Amino acid sequence: MSTHDMSAGVINADASTVTASGTSNAELVARLERMPITRQLLTIRVVVGLSTFFDAYTLLAIAFAMPQLAAEWGLSAAYISLIIAASYIGQLFGAVFFGSLAEKIGRLGVLKITIILFVIIDAACMFAWSGLSMMVFRFLQGVGIGAEVPVASYYINEFVGAKKRGRFFLLYEVIFPIGMMFAGIAGYFLVPVYGWKAMFIVGLIPSIITVPLRWLMPESPRWLASKGRLAEADKVVSKLEDEVLRRGETLPEPVIRTIEKKTVASEGWHELFTGI
């Protein structure tokens, strides 16, 4: 079961909940499902995608900085392996902890935390003074990446209807391998001339730009609806609808599907280790 399917199941499970204006959970989902790809949705994909691009870049940047670091700090092969592995261990912790946190405080809340964490730790990497300090910073950076990537993925998914989701999300996912390729290009040209710190500077500047943009994005309406905050979810969906209508387009009537309420035994990473 995917994260999105779990979220959608929670959202649709309580279709009987209704706001004071008569907007139900099921109706909000139906309105989202009929929505075309709007300019606001494209903007969300670009803003989140920019961070994902530099998540991928940062993940691989250490490999191109490491030859100079190894010579400068006299690192052994085992120590180099630990520094590289630290980021991946951090990703595991970040995905587990922040994935659960995203269900409690919202997708956007976690994305705000991760972008700030990413900027702070990326800057800290430039001032690392030893192999141990770089290992600690890379672990913390991995926590941010591990939190960012999955939460960003289902944040984007929850804005798009099922029929359009595959293509829309695929174009977002393509940015990750492009970011890794860019790290190789930057490392080839920058490190021999400007040194290993240049790799972290390149990843830091665009990330700083995206920080204020995170505060301009709306919260996932599906998550809001799943938490009973239907009035807030209605405002987000209404803005998307207004954009379509302003362009002179028409929206089909929402097809409301009432799904039988089910009891969810558990939610979170530990469900991976339970029965079907």
pLDDT tens digits for 110-156? 999 998 998 899 899 999 999 999 999 999 999 999 998 889 988 99
251/109: higher pLDDT = 109
What's the length of the chain? 276
pLDDT tens digits for 53-88? 988 998 899 999 999 999 999 999 999 999 999 999
Mean pLDDT for the chain? 84
The Cα 33–Cα 12 span in angstroms is: 13
CATH of 44-217, one of 1.10.287.130, 1.20.1250.20, 3.20.20.105, 1.10.10.10: 1.20.1250.20
> By three-state DSSP, how is residue 24 classified?
strand
pLDDT value at residue 78:
92
Q: Which residues of 35-49 are buried (b: 16+ CB within 10 A; e: fewer)?
A: beebebbeebbebbb
Give the CA count within 13 Å in the CB-facing half-sphere of 264: 15
- Highest mean pLDDT (candidates 139-153, 204-218, 260-274): 139-153
User: Band of the pLDDT at 2, cuts 50, 70, 90?
Assistant: very low
Give the CA count within 13 Å in the CB-facing half-sphere of 274: 10
pLDDT value at residue 13:
38
pLDDT value at residue 257:
72
User: Band of the pLDDT at 221, cuts 50, 70, 90?
Assistant: very high
Domain ranges of the chain: 44-217, 224-260
184/206: higher pLDDT = 184
270-274: list long-range contacts, CB under 8 Å, 24+ apart.
271/1
Please say if the pLDDT value at position 213 is more than 70: yes
The Cα 20–Cα 128 span in angstroms is: 55
pLDDT value at residue 162:
84
Cβ(54)–Cβ(204) under 8 Å? no
Q: Could you tell me which residues are beta bridge partners of residue 18?
A: 24
The model carries a pTM of: 0.79
pLDDT value at residue 110:
93
The Cα 69–Cα 60 span in angstroms is: 15
Poorest-confidence range of 75-79, 94-98, 105-109, 160-164?
Answer: 160-164
Angle between helix 3-13 and helix 25-33 axes, rounded to 10 deg:
130
Taking residues 232-242, report their average pLDDT. Answer: 92
> By three-state DSSP, how is residue 147 classified?
helix
Taking residues 94-106, report their average pLDDT. Answer: 90
Helix ranges restricted to H, 127-250 = 131-157, 162-173, 175-194, 197-214, 221-226, 230-246
pLDDT value at residue 15:
39
The Cα 223–Cα 76 span in angstroms is: 47
pLDDT value at residue 30:
87
